[in-house]
Structure 1
């Protein structure tokens, strides 16, 4: 019999799409989770063909393959938190929901990837409807950006007041909490709003950093929230700490040229040692 040592790592499972350029998707998630000292596992949901200049095409992963990946990971390395990113088809939504319903004790951070950086819709309306109906209720927190919030609410969102109205409207869709990201605001101060089911919340503001290197910020933020939860932080603390991490990662990567388009943030500006739980 193997002699197993009496410690483990905080484990975070990312369920997301592929990014061959390494800055977003599963690759960006694994970098973030690792940089914060947690152990990353992953399940691939879609294969976008993309680089720093944009998405060229998307090849879906069959739902039964997603299901097999999920079960293989969950049977072996059970996560302390789960991050969900790109869910490309209704069939895959169904598989994820049916699987995660069996583990209600695991916190879920859902980044509802619906619109590409270049403004292209990545999901059909029927898939969005299923996500809202079945996946939102399972999520501990969802992290839409303004484009995604516009899809969910049918609103044009240009100001912080618009964000307030949109966030309240998204909460009515049945999720437990929402972090509405204001990175696309046309302002020198970027504001994000956190809404909770008890009517509480928090406003966060950061100085806007002048850089094209913002690829994968949503992936990094949601993965960082999941990582801090896996470490044992409360949800409000995890939301606050994750935003600080992303802001510093953008600041430390703002002058680096990686690729010909929107480069990634610097995930490893201050890498942490692997955390050991005893």
Structure 2
């Protein structure tokens, strides 16, 4: 969460809704709720209420350009959210403006909500805006957030029953980097599915359908929330789940009343687990989710060293540890077999110390290791039969996570423990874009499910910064070089243990 005095700046380029529910009004309320400073560039002054759209009154391009020049000198944006555009002159101006801004500010985040109709049904943009010039705009944004009807229009697919993946593929082929297709407009009894597509990735979230008529401005709020999270350095997958959690919390605050079409209520930062959507799992993960994996039998694991040799296991296991990991890289099959067999035999001499083998789950099972630790890439690569083999073996499973999306997803298969990282920059692995920090660690701990799976913090933790990590309430801290490169590893171990036991 944002605690700095200087908040990231969001520009919203959208129409004004005099009824107060959508457009710039929704964007301002959402941005402020999520710690942003919001600047407004109004494309049109609309006359509307909850029943009808009376008129759309465009703002001259010259005035929009004057606002851009003035704001750039004082409040340059970290993100831009684009909503309603009133005519082709505005669209042409915006394409040229974004090209310039992208050159000047390479890290600028742009999210486009292609508002083609008002919630009451009338068109807000002329149909030609969905043509070639709009495709030029989509190539300049980072994410576009259409509903099903808008996605079909942008994909030039007049069959609104086509799968969302087909619409997303068409937009990506036209040069749009990422597409978030919202499912709230689809008819469904209980569940709404939102889907995010980019490159080869496809993520989907299930949320309960909002039981309220207060949905005016929900699309504007979602896209602004997404832009706000991205502007604060959040990865796309995490911004996706956090923006949807924000909307679920918003709908929960609204009256359960369908007799009146009112404005959605923008809430505070979504920290409560109850508002986070369910991540749609692949077939392999779904197959093991109900039964899960064996528990560790202890909540507080204490110090968790991660080492790269049997020699380090011999030094550390006698020091009163409850858990340790052997991470072997760049070794032949024979070397792996020999090391893992030795490690398991050594662990039997120290039964209080739970030995986890990193990655090599087949050998860990073969030699009877206590547990195996998998990264997200390894976990996602497993087929249904392989993940079921791990589960049926009875071995314990630890999983690495990096942010809210992976944390929520991994919890759904009920692992033996979850690791969150990297808390700080680390020399052992390139974690560019995935540094969590202490504040985000504290937030992720609020997303624990009822099983209360033990949580391990890892990445760049030293004796100097360990206290700030331990203060979050995490169950264990994993360290690598803070022990293996210490002048005196025994003193380092003792120092960590005394902090964890304080």
Could you say which residue in structure 1 is the equivalent of 2:128? Answer: 126
Question: Offset at 1:102?
Answer: 1.6
From 60, 69, 77, the equivalent of 1:71 is 69
From 95, 98, 109, the equivalent of 2:96 is 98
Q: CA offsets per residue over residues 36-90 of structure 1, 9 Å max, x none?
A: 1111111000111012223111111111111112222122101111101001111
Matched, 1:264 2:263: yes
Unpaired segments ≥5 residues, structure 2: 272-502
Q: What is the total number of aligned residue pairs between the two structures?
A: 262
What TM-score results when the alignment is normalised by the length of structure 2?
0.50
RMSD between aligned residues: 2.1
Tell me, in whole angstroms, the C-alpha distance in 1 between the residues paired with 2:91 and 2:126. Answer: 13
Question: Offset at 1:166?
Answer: 2.0
Q: Which has the larger radius of gyration?
A: 2
Q: 1:145 to 1:17 in 2, by over 3 A?
A: same
Could you say which residue in structure 2 is the equivalent of 1:180? Answer: 181
Q: What does 1:196-235 align with in structure 2 at a 5 Å threshold?
A: 196=198, 198-235=199-236
Could you say which residue in structure 2 is the equivalent of 1:3? Answer: none
Q: CA offsets per residue over residues 168-219 of structure 1, 9 Å max, x none?
A: 22222220000001111111211111010x2212011111122111110110
From 14, 24, 31, the equivalent of 1:26 is 24
Contact 2:84 2:125 in 1 (8 A): no
Q: 1:237 to 1:226 in 2, by over 3 A?
A: same
What TM-score results when the alignment is normalised by the length of structure 1?
0.88
Matched position secondary structure for 1:18: strand
Question: Offset at 1:123?
Answer: 2.1
Contact 1:216 1:264 in 2 (8 A): yes
Tell me, in whole angstroms, the C-alpha distance in 1 between the residues paired with 2:39 and 2:261. Answer: 26
Unpaired segments ≥5 residues, structure 1: 1-5, 273-278
Contact 1:214 1:265 in 2 (8 A): yes
Question: Offset at 1:128?
Answer: 2.0
Runs of 4+ in 1 over 4 A off after TM superposition: 269-272
Tell me, in whole angstroms, the C-alpha distance in 2 between the residues paired with 1:74 and 1:239. Answer: 28
Contact 2:8 2:36 in 1 (8 A): yes
- With 168-177 and 26-35 compared, the bigger mean Cα shift is at 168-177
Question: Offset at 1:256?
Answer: 6.9
Tell me, in whole angstroms, the C-alpha distance in 1 between the residues paired with 2:200 and 2:119. Answer: 31
Contact 1:16 1:85 in 2 (8 A): yes
Matched position secondary structure for 2:41: strand
Tell me, in whole angstroms, the C-alpha distance in 2 between the residues paired with 1:138 and 1:17. Answer: 20
Matched, 1:156 2:159: yes
Tell me, in whole angstroms, the C-alpha distance in 2 between the residues paired with 1:254 and 1:74. Answer: 40
Matched position secondary structure for 2:204: strand
Matched, 1:60 2:52: no
Could you say which residue in structure 2 is the equivalent of 1:255? Answer: 256
Matched position secondary structure for 2:192: strand
Matched position secondary structure for 1:225: helix
